[in-house]
Amino acid sequence: MRLYLILISFFLISCENSSKINDKTKQSHSTNSNQQVVANSVDYFSKYINSSCDQLIDKSYFQICYNYKLNIATAVGYKLDGDLVDELNIKDRPSFYVEESLPKEEQIEPDNYYNSGYDRGHLAPDAAFDWSYDSLNATYSMANIVPQLAEVNREEWSKVEEHARKMAKKYSEITVVNLVAFDENITTVGKTPVALPKGFYKIMYNIEKNYKECYYYANSANESKSLNNHLISCDNL
């Protein structure tokens, strides 16, 4: 009888240890899986906003990768906080201003695009930062501005900007990187020659939540207003 009780006790202990091992194995697999998702994700902010830029301009709320030769930003990156999106929605917009952190010869005046046929398009959008006067004002630096066709700026591009704000609310926070694309044979616009973009990429992601979307908009007329028609693979970016 005593031997029987000893065998039963040994069996129960063995089952308990086996269960703990299985639980640890499951946790390990889950952790490894999550780590693999993160490891296989690209941090586009670090990829494009880095020391390879002629000048990195820190506007506190977003960072600008500026190119002296082109007289324009080639990338802008920022975090969108879902709790701040639509927090205040300041209606009064500030004036555009010269980015004084740039060398004098690289500074673009606010009227540089006047009568050029192009809008002063924001890379870091004012509607994403209208939760404080300081953050909103930062977006009106001419270093954050690109010549953008009115139809694209006011309609198509604004739709994907609105979509980004919705995704920030959905995922609590997302990182956004806007890239500016140029033709091989660059044309310029403005009194001070600024490279004319051929199009714009918007990359939105949250690595921890395994979320990523990429869009492309040509800087030309008759672009589709449907988001799905501009959705592209992020693999080549």
Residues in contact with 197: Cβ distance below 8 Å, sequence separation at least 6, in sequence order: 72, 146, 147, 148, 180, 181, 182, 219
Identify whether residues 32 and 76 lie together within a single domain: no
Identify whether residues 100 and 14 lie together within a single domain: no
Provide the CATH number for the domain around residue 115: 3.40.570.10
| Tens-digit pLDDT profile for residues 96-144 | 999 999 999 999 999 998 889 999 999 999 999 999 999 999 999 999 9
| Tens-digit pLDDT profile for residues 36-51 | 344 357 899 999 999 9
Residue 109 has a pLDDT of: 97
What value, to the nearest 5°, has the Cα angle with vertex 150 and ends 148 and 151?
Answer: 110
Mean pLDDT of 19-24: 44
Q: Both tokens of residue 201?
A: 């990429």
CA–CA separation, 70 and 65 (whole Å): 12
Confidence of residue 151 (pLDDT cuts 50, 70, 90): very high
Residue 41 has a pLDDT of: 73
Which of these ranges, 50-54, 122-126, 179-183, 219-223, has the smallest mean pLDDT?
219-223
Q: Are 147 and 113 in contact (CB under 8 A)?
A: yes
Residue 186 lies in a domain: yes
The boundaries of the domain holding residue 36 are 1-40
Residue 89 has a pLDDT of: 85
Q: Both tokens of residue 175?
A: 């990182």
Residue 5 has a pLDDT of: 40
Mean pLDDT of 75-98: 94
Residue 31 has a pLDDT of: 37
CA–CA separation, 200 and 21 (whole Å): 51
Residue 237 lies in a domain: no
Length, in residues, of the chain: 237
Identify whether residues 20 and 74 lie together within a single domain: no
Q: Are 147 and 189 in contact (CB under 8 A)?
A: yes
Residue 87 has a pLDDT of: 86
Identify whether residues 184 and 141 lie together within a single domain: yes
Q: Give the total number of structural domains in the chain.
A: 2
Identify whether residues 131 and 195 lie together within a single domain: yes
Identify whether residues 55 and 16 lie together within a single domain: no
Identify whether residues 35 and 54 lie together within a single domain: no
Question: What HEC string does 86-131 produce?
Answer: CCCCCCCCCCCECCCCCCHHHCCCCCCCCCCCEEEEECCCHHHCCC
CA–CA separation, 108 and 105 (whole Å): 8
pTM equals 0.82
Mean of the per-residue pLDDT values of the chain: 86
With pLDDT > 90 as the criterion, what percentage of the chain qualifies?
Answer: 75
- Answer whether residue 7 shows pLDDT above 80: no
